[in-house]
Amino acid sequence: MDIKKERIAHEKHLLSQGVDFKYLPNIQYSELENVYELIEWDEEYSEALNEINSSWCTWQAAKAQAIPEGFVLVPKENIFCYWQDNDEPENFCSSESDFDNLGDCIELGDIMEINKHTQAHIQTEKLSGTWFAEAIDPSEKANFFVGTHEECMAIVEKNKAMIEAQEPTND
């Protein structure tokens, strides 16, 4: 977030906390110094100036500790591991109690290389999939489609219509 948007967010936050901004017309933000300054020195506003600058520094420190852009925060319960045979990746286990199953493919005295994968589960989205029928022979598969259930139902209906159109009519 750029500094101007940060300042606006900070000032909105201060307002939501009930801070009185009657002194704002006498205070301006200095981009060069990254602080608020008095437009003209006035003892009455110096305490308010100190408060807003203190709050601004705290705000920036808190934001600096926030999650950097491009990263996500994941709950610990969404992090999991699985172990995979390096030579035969189809052999894997998701629990340390299943290590013996992973090692079934080696003999006593052999050593296997195992890859430990740590992953975070972010989201599960339920999709549907179906085959487009081949235009020349609607009983053959052409392309597999993944999308919503409604989209797949429309494809299934279109496939049925193509099959019915090719069936001979009994007159």
Cα angle vertex 91, ends 90, 96, to 5°? 140
Q: Which residue has the tokens 């493919």?
A: 105
Domain boundaries, the chain: 3-64, 76-120, 128-166
Measured between alpha carbons, how far is 166 from 156 in angstroms, rounded to an integer?
A: 16
Could you list the pLDDT tens digit for every one of the 171 residues in the chain?
578 888 888 888 877 877 666 666 778 888 888 888 888 777 777 777 888 888 899 888 887 777 877 888 889 999 999 999 999 999 999 999 999 999 998 998 999 999 999 999 988 899 999 999 988 888 899 999 999 999 999 999 999 999 888 877 665
